[in-house]
Structure 1
Amino acid sequence: MTFELVPLHEVAEFHSGGTPDRNRADYYSGRIPWVTGADLDEDGSILPRYMITDQAISESSTGIAKKGDLLLVTRTSLGKAAVVPSSLICFSQDITAVRTNPEKLDARYLWHYIRSQASYFANRARGATIKGVTRDVVRHLPIPLAPLPEQRLITRILNHVDSLRAKRREAIALLNELSQSIFLDMFGDPVSNPRAWTETKLGDMIVDNPKNGLYKPQKFYGSGYPIVRIDSFYSGKLIDHGKFKRVSVSDKEAEQYFLKEGDILINRVNSLEYLGKSALVEGLSEPTLYESNMMRFSVDRKLADPAFVNTVLQSGHIKGQIASAAKKAVNQASINQSDVKSLSFYLPPLDLQREFVRRNARIHSHKVTMLNALAELDALFASLQHRAFRGELWTEEITPVA
């Protein structure tokens, strides 16, 4: 079964938004939600930060969306979308409200389809710094117009798998919170230091100075030694060792950049949000290098457990120090070796550090299980999404239930 492709404008109408005068504080003291692209979450939820008045609506060009309308972000956070759950939401010029013909197109079906069309919008986006698409691009989005019973069934199937993915993400978030709770219970708040642990600088426990990684032009990639890149670690751990990129380099040059068990990597160039991202090196099956946008160092194990130090580096206390030390440029920031060595935190006794590491390892084991389950659900969702909009989920026509 294949579905006819029709341009969106044949089954929907469109409404523009606007912004009430930001200098009028009285406009923003009402009860009517007003949203921008930043208020739409990736999961389709709407989290308004502003509430406006009736006067703000009547004296501005803000758009008014009704229950069941689809809000589509066409500037900045391009492609995010959400279906309006309540009776009235106002919206900015960064958003287009799509009001579907309910006899032909289900809004939730459209929402799922738009989520699968990131490349359609990205390929048609214009703008040097703020990317956006025109109304014409939205109007001509080709929609696989399944009969309404099929649309609703597809929506139910995708909603179900999506809810399972959300539950897995919630479980992972709870495990992260558990790890933080154990840390606070054992060591106290890292800022107030209520147990008067010794305050120390990272540089005082580093065996050798932090060393920047290897830089090679792209033409050297493809074969050779595996190399850790910034996308090779997550939540303090190296991931998918077998999928590391490989780089061709002489043995002599490689010797300077080999990673050792227990080394710590810290990102030195990135967007401010991810600057200072760290990982503990463990479990490598072959000699492995690391790229130039990160540093490597090791700690004196008579003073500190490297897994404990790696956990501390991911704390809000350290992230605040990194943000303060960062050298900011357009779209990125950086830190140097001196910045890393000057990071300060309290250092509990070594036996307590190791006890925390043991507890945290058990939590991480559960988290790995959850992450693997989430990856399987993500793959299932992508497969269902692809097949659904191609009409390949079933081979027989769906009969509506009376």
Structure 2
Amino acid sequence: MSISEVRELGDVADFLSGFAWKAKQFSDEPTGMPIIRIQNVGSDASTAFKYWPDSFADRFVISTGDLLLTLSGSFRTVVWSGPDALLNQRIVKVTPRVNTDTRWLFYALEEAMARIAKMGRHALVSNVALSDLRELKINVPPLEEQKRIAGILDQADALRRLRTRALGKLNTLGQAIFHEMFGDPVSNVIGFQQVRFHELVPQIDSGWSPKCLDRPADSDEWGILKLSAVTSGRFSASENKALPDHETPKAQHAVRKGDILFTRKNTKDLVAATVLVDADHSRLLLPDLIFRFRVGDSNSIDPVYFQALLSFPTKRRSIQKLSGGSAGSMPNISKAKLREVQIELPPIDQQREYCRRMAAVEQVNTIQVHELRKTETLFASLQHGAFRGEL
């Protein structure tokens, strides 16, 4: 094994911070250059671009293969695979210097960011400056050793991605089962009974959105859910922000098992996302941008079916069309419009059969999640050893 030397990140890479483009000049129309915002990086990469119609400096243009690091919300290190686009603020372009392998640098940055995140709950992302990154110490082996390490980590990462894709296919399986049993709910060619939303849901609750800390809540703290707790279509309790100590929690907004959560306000692609909460979360509170409701009569509609119906692509798009808002603001769906949505009601026995089938899918999903976590643990162990000269 080649001997590594301890060096600062700034010795092996150059860092370029994104520009603070004026949001009031952003356009939804594909004219000019796309802007890479936090929402377009990593797990949120499906979010639609905003566009910059004015002039720009060439140094802010990002191309396929460029290495990016986000410094807002959470650390993400990605190799850009999208179109040529402009680098926005709080995102950094990282360029390897001579004798630095790009893939090795990608993993080195991931490991360095994980170290910062583990410094403690008060080591906030928003406090990390470029100077801190440049001065961060890492073990730097010779170029050939870098390539060897990157090759091993690439193989482990490929296994991790394979598990992730398997989970993605399971998620689409639910939609396939729904379509097989009920058809397209918007066209409703089977002719199921239709009732108004308000006939099934006696009450729609709104939440509370105080100013929170820029980190998730610890187990003994109260937290306010973020929109990202819902937007994936599967409830993610970890997507929250800690409530400051000076704020008194409003326990009536606590999220409970059986709640159906609905994003009333978001980007046009992410508004009207719906999830069913499968456990009590007594210290997690509903924000103002998410509606909560429960079915009034489970003998008329099954909650699992209801959430699946609202999430089905054509049904969701029809609900998204109800959103309003002024130019430049995020689309918003009012309670009044949601209450009038037509809901397709197959016989309750068919709904419960769908629920039973989805329970079987969920069992497989649980196994896949467990396997993914094992793969992620293996990857983290390899990465940990790689940057301590132990791989």
With normalisation by structure 1, the TM-score equals 0.63
Residue 178 of structure 2 corresponds to residue 178 of structure 1: no
Could you tell me which residue of structure 2 aligns to residue 299 of structure 1?
296
The verdict on how the C-alpha distance between 1:209 and 1:269 changes in structure 2, with shifts beyond 3 A counting, is same
CA distance in 2, matches of 1:90, 1:302: 50
In structure 2, the gaps of 5 or more residues are 17-32, 46-57, 118-124
The verdict on how the C-alpha distance between 1:142 and 1:322 changes in structure 2, with shifts beyond 3 A counting, is farther
Picking from 342, 345, 352, the partner of 1:354 is 352
- Among all aligned residue pairs of Structure 1 and Structure 2, give the percentage whose two residues are the same amino acid: 24
Could you tell me which residue of structure 2 aligns to residue 280 of structure 1?
276
1:251-290 aligned within 5 A: 254=251, 256-257=252-253, 261-284=257-280, 290=285
Instruction: Give the SS at the match of 1:194.
Output: coil
User: Contact (CA 8 Å) 2:271, 2:331: kept in 1 or not?
Assistant: yes
**1:252-271 deviation digits (Å, cap 9, x = unpaired):** x74x5466653322233444
CA distance in 2, matches of 1:334, 1:200: 23
The verdict on how the C-alpha distance between 1:200 and 1:393 changes in structure 2, with shifts beyond 3 A counting, is farther
Picking from 4, 7, 11, the partner of 1:5 is 7
**1:137-165 deviation digits (Å, cap 9, x = unpaired):** 99999774212343133212211221111
CA distance in 1, matches of 2:210, 2:367: 35
CA apart distance, 1:189: 1.8
Could you tell me which residue of structure 1 aligns to residue 314 of structure 2?
317
Picking from 147, 170, 175, the partner of 1:152 is 147
In structure 1, the gaps of 5 or more residues are 16-33, 46-60, 126-132, 395-402
CA distance in 2, matches of 1:316, 1:260: 26
Instruction: Give the SS at the match of 1:5.
Output: strand
Could you tell me which residue of structure 2 aligns to residue 199 of structure 1?
194
CA distance in 2, matches of 1:196, 1:209: 27
CA apart distance, 1:81: 4.9
Could you tell me which residue of structure 2 aligns to residue 20 of structure 1?
none
Instruction: Give the SS at the match of 1:275.
Output: coil
CA apart distance, 1:272: 4.1
CA apart distance, 1:305: 0.7
**1:336-388 deviation digits (Å, cap 9, x = unpaired):** 32132123342211111111111011112211222233234334434543442
Task: Give the structure with higher Rg (CA).
Answer: 1
Residue 365 of structure 2 corresponds to residue 371 of structure 1: no
Picking from 202, 205, 221, the partner of 1:211 is 205
Corresponding residue pairs, total: 339
Question: CA-atom RMSD, angstroms?
Answer: 5.2
What amino acid does structure 2 have at the position aligned with 1:301?
Answer: S
CA apart distance, 1:309: 0.2
Instruction: Give the SS at the match of 2:7.
Output: strand
With normalisation by structure 2, the TM-score equals 0.65
Could you tell me which residue of structure 1 aligns to residue 28 of structure 2?
none
User: Contact (CA 8 Å) 2:300, 2:348: kept in 1 or not?
Assistant: yes
**1:25-55 deviation digits (Å, cap 9, x = unpaired):** xxxxxxxxx99969x9749x9xxxxxxxxxx
CA distance in 2, matches of 1:112, 1:342: 50
CA distance in 2, matches of 1:124, 1:193: 52
Instruction: Give the SS at the match of 2:365.
Output: helix
